[in-house]
Structure 1
Amino acid sequence: MTPALSVLVVTYKSGADVDTCLALLAASRIDRPYEVIVVDNASGDGTAERIAAAWPDIRVIAETTNHGFAGANAIAYAAARGDAILLLNPDAYLRDPDAVAVALAHLDAHPQVGAVGLRLVFEDGRHQVGDAGFEPRPLTVAVHAAGLSGRFGLRGVYLSGGQARAPGPVSVDWLCGAFLMLRREAVEAIGGLSSPLFLYGEDVDWGCRVRDAGWRVEYLPDRSVVHLQGGSGSTRSPRWLDGLAGVYRLRNGGRRLSSPAFFAVPLWLGFTARAAVYGLLGRLRRRPDLLGRSRDMKRFADHLTNI
């Protein structure tokens, strides 16, 4: 039977996360035939072999080279047969067994929608900033840097917490690749799942290209997927800024204000100011969480000096 949905999972030394991911996927209530394709990016730790042994119905493609997120998804897409394509990170957990069915139903009901995503949360239920947003342009970067996303109707690079609690679907420019469902026609319209970006930012690139091709990109805030993203209490890596800078260069090449300075300087100022504010409040209120945020902001600001 030809599957209606292809679920693509890219692994790289994913440990036990992918086992939980696949178990929750198998327990989901999906109302149509689907296939699962796992591409392992040369983990070298037995991940591919373990999945193949534990899940005989899953197609496992074991690569000998690390192709990055986009490259591995392009390999999986070439093998996919479904009309709907779901990119699912190995650390994305479908605690809601109807999450996939809801996304599929949204595509069914809205033929002009080319991509749909759900609200991403940490294990404690907090909204995960970075699950959707708007095209990285000088204005959206400046809005995000100033902490004004969602205020006064302003759009930043990322959805704010308030925007992510909207009562209905939100039209956005891109969706996080941790849970990203795409219509095959939309993928074909952008030439597949290739990207010049190796890691981080590919999903922003794809979403903007899907929108440019005339499709709507929509975010459903009333359904959620747990995304570990390194865990809610761990140190956040600043590498996401490299990916965002890469997308900024792609999307603004040849335009005014396309210099990396118009990306890095506003963010540096914003992160530096937030580091100071969070640090002061953390000490005055004896709040370790605010001190942790201050350290994150300082690390992000320091990283920007290299961009």
Structure 2
Amino acid sequence: MSIGAGELNAPHVTASVIIVNYHAYPELTACLESLARQTLSSIEIILVDHDSDADAATAVSRRFPAVHLVPIATNPGFAAGINRGAALARGAYLWLLNPDAVAEPDACRTLIDWMDAHLDVAVAGSLVRDRDGSIQGSARRFPGFTTSIAGRASWLTRFFPGNPLSRMNVLTRPGVTAPVDVDWVSGASMMVRRDAFVAVSGMDEGFFLYWEDADLCFRLKRAGWRTVYCPLASVTHLCGRSSRSSPASIVAFHRSAYRYFTKHAGAALRLARPLVYAGLTLRMRALLLLNDRTASDGPRP
């Protein structure tokens, strides 16, 4: 099936793929080509293009005319982009997909078939692989005090992934091959039941980048819905690991982490807000310093 021929704008739409792009045009091509190979044809693609580059956006439209391109002059953040796309969507399902994600041909159909058979599930996240084939920690427990030392990006998890704390926080492992209930899944590849998404008012646009996916799953769970990690479907995330190292991403990550804490911590834990703020600020500054030193060193001969 050729995405350029227009088949993806079928009269009956089962799933609306929502992609929020921010200058990821080289990777976006591979993403859209993978969507052209989906075995489920009744999909539409909505591309919300933040800080849109006119020439690059025109090239995308010419190559993929079936894609509904929504150019935005500014960058209001990932959550705002998802909400903008969802407002235009016609499908009963919303597939939130990163522009640097390449989907296996049956990924969309597999997620929808599984959710059709489990009507109490609002969110299903696919297996997400890095470019080298390793499995990303895309399904996790809601963050707590152990997240800082045993979360997905922590030193402990990177060097000792089999330790009990990391296994408690990060729920994706090669041995997990069947769908399993989790607290939240990454927005890199997240299938969401549209009526559930609307019922909780979509994404919280107060999150500029990061943690908006965990926040959505938390609110859905509070509303009585389940979130499931479904490794039967698979995508490859081409650039997800490296993007976290930019200074802007580091700042956004920690700001969003603090927002998540202030929203969802219980009354007793909220008393610790000054300590949490201080801890996140120190961690952010340490990572920025490390990032700056690494950049200053440059490539070694």
Query: How much has 1:263 moved relative to structure 2?
Result: 7.1
> Gapped runs of 5+ residues in structure 1?
272-294, 303-307
68, 74, 77: which one aligns with 1:65: 74
SS in 1 for 2:190: strand
How far is the alpha carbon of 1:48 from its aligned partner? Answer: 2.3
SS of 1:256's partner is: helix
1:56 equivalent in structure 2: 65
CA shift in 2, pair 1:76/1:100, >3 Å: same
Q: How does 1:228-267 map to 2 (within 5 A)?
A: 228-230=238-240, 235=245, 238-239=250-251, 240-252=253-265, 254-256=267-269, 258-259=272-273, 261-262=275-276, 265=279
Whichever residue aligns with residue 187 of structure 1, its letter is: F
- Distance (Å, rounded) in 1 between the aligned partners of 2:47 and 2:184: 23
Distance 2:57 2:122 in 1: 31
1:136 counterpart (143, 146, 149): 143
**Aligned residue runs from structure 1 range 189-204, under 5 A:** 189-204=199-214
The percentage of aligned residue pairs carrying the same residue is: 30
Tell whether the 8 Å contact from 2:139 to 2:171 is kept in structure 1 after alignment.
no
Partners of 1:298 and 1:168 lie apart in 2 by 41
CA displacement 1:10-35 (0-9 Å, x = unmatched): 111112111110011111111x5111
Number of residues paired by the alignment? 272
Pair 1:159-2:170 in alignment = yes
Q: Is the 8 A contact 1:9 1:37 kept in 2?
A: yes
Partner letter of residue 121 of structure 2?
A: V
Residue 88 of structure 1 and its aligned partner are, at CA, apart by 0.8
Please, which runs of 5 or more residues in structure 2 have no aligned partner? 1-10, 294-301
Residue 142 of structure 2 aligns with an amino acid whose one-letter code is E
Partner residue in 2 for 1:274: none
Does the 8 Å CA contact 2:146/2:165 hold for their aligned counterparts?
no
Shift in Å, 1:259: 1.7
Measure, in 1, the Cα distance between the counterparts of 2:93 and 2:184.
17
Q: Considering only aligned residues, what root-mean-square deviation do their CA atoms show, in Å?
A: 3.2
**AA at the equivalent of 1:28:** Q
Deviation at 1:154, TM superposition (A): 7.7
TM-score normalised according to structure 2 size: 0.78
- Report SS of the residue matched to 1:35: strand
Q: Secondary structure at the match of 1:248?
A: helix
Q: TM-score, normalised by structure 1?
A: 0.77
1:124 paired residue among 110, 129, 132: 132
Question: Using a 3 Å threshold, how does the CA distance of structure 1 residues 200 and 154 change in structure 2: closer, same or farther?
Answer: closer
Q: 1:115: how far off?
A: 0.3
Structure 2: distance between partners of 1:116 and 1:97:
17
- Residues 133 and 175 in structure 1, CA contact (< 8 A), matched pair in contact too: yes
Offset, 1:103: 0.6
Q: What is the aligned partner in structure 1 of residue 5 from structure 2? A: none
8 Å Cα contact 2:139-2:184 kept in structure 1: yes
Question: How far did 1:244 drift?
Answer: 2.5
Alignment-mate amino acid for residue 18 of structure 1: L
Q: How does 1:75-224 map to 2 (within 5 A)?
A: 75-94=84-103, 96-129=104-137, 131-138=138-145, 140-141=147-148, 144=151, 147=156, 152=164, 156=168, 158-162=169-173, 165-224=175-234
Per-residue deviation at 1:152?
5.0
1:19-30 mapped onto 2 (5 Å cutoff): 19-30=29-40
Per the alignment, residue 18 of structure 1 pairs with 28
Q: 1:225 corresponds to which letter in structure 2?
A: V
Secondary structure of the corresponding residue to residue 39 of structure 2? coil
Q: CA deviation at 1:159?
A: 1.3
Per-residue deviation, 1:298: 8.3
Match of 2:8 in 1: none
